[in-house]
Amino acid sequence: MNWISTFLKSSIGKKLLMGLTGLFLCTFLIVHLTGNLQLLKHDGGLAFNTYAVFMTTNPLIKFVSYGLYAIILFHAFWGLYLVMENKKARPVQYAAYNGNANSNWSSRWMGVLGTIILAFLILHMWNFWAQYKFGTVPYTQYERNLATGEVTFSPFTGEIAGKMEKFIDNQSGIEVTIVKDLYIVVADGFKAWWLVIIYVISMAALSFHLVHGFSSAFQTLGVNHKKYNALIKNIGVGVFGIIIPILFAIMPIYFLLLN
Amino acid sequence: MKINLKVWRQKNNKAKGELKDYKVDHVSPDMSFLEMFDVLNEDLITKGDDPIAFDHDCREGICGSCSMHINGRPHGPLAGVTTCQLHMRSFKDGDTIVVEPWRAGAFPVTKDLSVDRTAFDRIIAAGGFISVNTGNAQDANNLPIGKEAADEAFMSAACIGCGACVAACKNASAMLFVSAKVSQLALLPQGQPEAKMRVMAMVNQMDAEGFGSCTNTGACSAECPKGIDLSNIARMNREFFSANLTGK
């Protein structure tokens, strides 16, 4: 198995690891976005809270999430290591260097953009993941009328086993859900305008990181052909550079305006 | 034309260098950038000063010897030309131009603007060749090669090994050069018998020389006087993956 370590230590092997982990993280963004978009549903957070319970209790998802944390850390620190390695390749800097004449600035600032994203992730995990796992999160009781679909909700002060309890009252035709309310943590958190600004700036950094990162990963994998280069570029810019960061950024802005 | 220059002067590899100011009067717009340096050097020699060392040879854009980093760009502001083919009409009267050597750990400065690019020679020696028996060359038409493959190989073979790609890259990566040299043979039947060994040996040598890794900024291809395409790097990556997976 010596050839594998030799391969991974080569300059091409090193960047293959960046490309593969980066593309994995891109797929995660889609999953994360799809789930979080339920925040925008007008149901007092019922769908989002149910989703949060599923994401934190399903054994397969828990297993994948630990892999995800490991890959995020690997991508971040391997990237920073490679930035430093690459800096060593030019010990004496140019007095005049006109990078804008030959390349996109985001492609030259991937390390800085990535560091901003890493700092954001630490803040983001603290804001919500840590609060949900270790903080005191209130419970809310939702009552959904099965005939009309109308949802009413109120704070739940009793105790339940686990994060969620769900039952249907057949007589009244009402589905009752008592659930740990992450939605309210999110809604309260984004009352702070400065936090919203930090989130929006971070999404801008994510956008520029992915405008280069997505198509760059394919180039590293050796996927370069005039038949599909434009498609890869357009997905990188349009989907990962524009649509996904904007949809993520809409959420904190939505809660700020809601208050 | 009058031109102000800020030129990197460095006595030898060990010495500490610095940018020095020079004024060149009576510059004709039709002079090449190197001819302007010839005029400046004549002045310096007349004054008893040490002339500025710079690399040059064919002065017609095909040998890859000239290597000046002009106003922050290898080979200066024009696309698709080497320094020797850059003319003073591309500048304005009274311009200040900063001229530096290629900057890369793998390209140590020998003197002033001249750098040691033998790292490229060692990469070629590691695998950038095909082994053929000596004797008469066989008839060219014995080995049919499709026009598309021939054209693509020729595009890669246009690389003159000047090192502008390394000079332009923020990581001082040599991947555009190495990938062009891998590609020109990987695309042709003559290159096949040694293909796997070649790409492994050349990439190993490239890494050993201390060039950085590619981060796909595309600066290399944008500055390449021969317009070598980034698809060469993707091809080298594919060749390298397949050689690692299926080679010895």
Per-residue confidence of chain B (248 residues) as pLDDT tens digits?
A: 999 999 999 999 999 999 999 999 999 999 999 999 999 999 999 999 999 999 999 999 999 999 999 999 999 999 999 999 999 999 999 999 999 999 999 999 999 999 999 999 999 999 999 998 888 888 888 889 999 999 999 999 999 999 999 999 999 999 999 999 999 999 999 999 999 999 999 999 999 999 999 999 999 999 999 999 999 999 999 999 999 999 87
- CATH architecture of structural domain B3-111: Roll (3.10)
Say if A243 falls within a structural domain: yes
Q: Quick one: average pLDDT of A65-75?
A: 97
Could you give the C-alpha distances from A204 to A126, A170, B93, B175, in angstroms and in order? 20, 49, 42, 30
Question: B71, B165, B171, B175: best mutation site toward chain A, by most A Cβ within 10 Å?
Answer: B171
A100 CB within 8 Å of a chain B CB: no
B31 CB within 8 Å of a chain A CB: no
* Tokens linked to B19: 């940018």
Amino acid at A84: M
Asked, colleague to colleague, whether B3-111 and B117-132+144-246 share their fold, the answer is no
Query: Cα(A186)–Cα(A46) distance, rounded to whole angstroms?
Result: 13
H/E element holding B41?
Answer: helix B33-46
Q: What is the pLDDT of residue A212?
A: 98
Q: Domain total for chain A?
A: 1
Say if A219 falls within a structural domain: yes
* Tokens linked to A248: 């993520």
Query: Cα(B159)–Cα(B165) distance, rounded to whole angstroms?
Result: 10
Assess whether pLDDT exceeds 90 at residue A1.
Answer: no
Sheet holding B18-24, edge to edge: B18-24, B3-9, B96-101, B68-70, B73-74
Query: Cα(B124)–Cα(B117) distance, rounded to whole angstroms?
Result: 12
Residue B149: how many CA atoms within 13 Å on its side-chain side?
11
Contact criterion met (CB < 8 Å) for A16 and B241: yes
Query: Cα(B199)–Cα(B209) distance, rounded to whole angstroms?
Result: 15
Q: Is A46 helix (H, G, I), strand (E, B) or coil?
A: helix
The minimal CB distance from B211 to the residues A89, A102, A224 is found for A89
Whether B243 and B199 have beta carbons less than 8 Å apart is answered as: yes
Contact criterion met (CB < 8 Å) for B173 and A103: no
Q: What is the pLDDT of residue B139?
A: 87
Question: A98, A215, A233: best mutation site toward chain B, by most B Cβ within 10 Å?
Answer: A98
Query: Cα(B156)–Cα(B182) distance, rounded to whole angstroms?
Result: 9
Say if A149 falls within a structural domain: no
Q: What is the pLDDT of residue B247?
A: 84
B168 CB within 8 Å of a chain A CB: yes
Nearest residue of chain B to residue A92 (CA atoms): B103
Contact criterion met (CB < 8 Å) for A92 and B103: yes
Domain assignments of chain B as residue spans, ordered by start: 3-111, 117-132+144-246
Query: Cα(A155)–Cα(B18) distance, rounded to whole angstroms?
Result: 72
Cβ contacts of A57 within 8 Å, gap of 6 or more = A162, A163
Bridging pattern class, strands B68-70 and B96-101: antiparallel
Say if A3 falls within a structural domain: no
Say if A124 falls within a structural domain: yes
**Neighboring chain B residues of A106 at a CB cutoff of 8 Å:** none
Closest by CA to B130, choosing from B193, B86, B55, is: B193
B174 CB within 8 Å of a chain A CB: no
Closest by CA to B246, choosing from B185, B189, B202, B196, is: B196
Q: Where does the pLDDT of residue A149 fall: very low under 50, low under 70, confident under 90, or very high at 90 and above?
A: confident
ipTM beyond cut 0.95: no
Q: Is A238 helix (H, G, I), strand (E, B) or coil?
A: helix
Cα torsion at A217, A218, A221, A225 (round to 10°)? -150
For residue A250, what are the domain limits? 14-41+59-88+106-136+182-258
Query: Cα(B143)–Cα(B157) distance, rounded to whole angstroms?
Result: 19
A99 CB within 8 Å of a chain B CB: yes
Q: Where does the pLDDT of residue A98 fall: very low under 50, low under 70, confident under 90, or very high at 90 and above?
A: very high
Q: Quick one: average pLDDT of A225-252?
A: 97
Q: What is the pLDDT of residue A253?
A: 97
Q: What is the pLDDT of residue B140?
A: 80
* Tokens linked to A141: 């009781």
How close, in Å, is residue B99 to chain A by CA atoms?
9
| CATH no. for B117-132+144-246 | 1.10.1060.10
* Tokens linked to A234: 């357009």
Nearest residue of chain B to residue A7 (CA atoms): B244
Say if A191 falls within a structural domain: yes
Within 175-204 of B, beta carbons closer than 8 Å to A belong to 175, 203-204
* Tokens linked to A59: 């054994």
Nearest residue of chain A to residue B213 (CA atoms): A11
> What is the DSSP annotation of chain B?
--EEEEEEE-SSSSSPPEEEEEEE-S--TTSBHHHHHHHHHHHHHHTTPPPPP---SSSSS-S----EEETTEET-SSTT--GGG-BGGGS-TT-EEEEEE---TTS-EEETTEE--HHHHHHHHHHSS----SSSPPPGGGS---HHHHHHHHHHHT-----HHHHHSTT-B-HHHHHHHHHHHHTSGGGSTTHHHHHHHHHHHHHHTT-B------HHHHH-TT---THHHHHHHHHHHHHHHH--
Nearest residue of chain B to residue A2 (CA atoms): B244
Say if A70 falls within a structural domain: yes
Say if A161 falls within a structural domain: no
Bridging pattern class, strands B96-101 and B3-9: parallel
Q: What is the pLDDT of residue A111?
A: 97
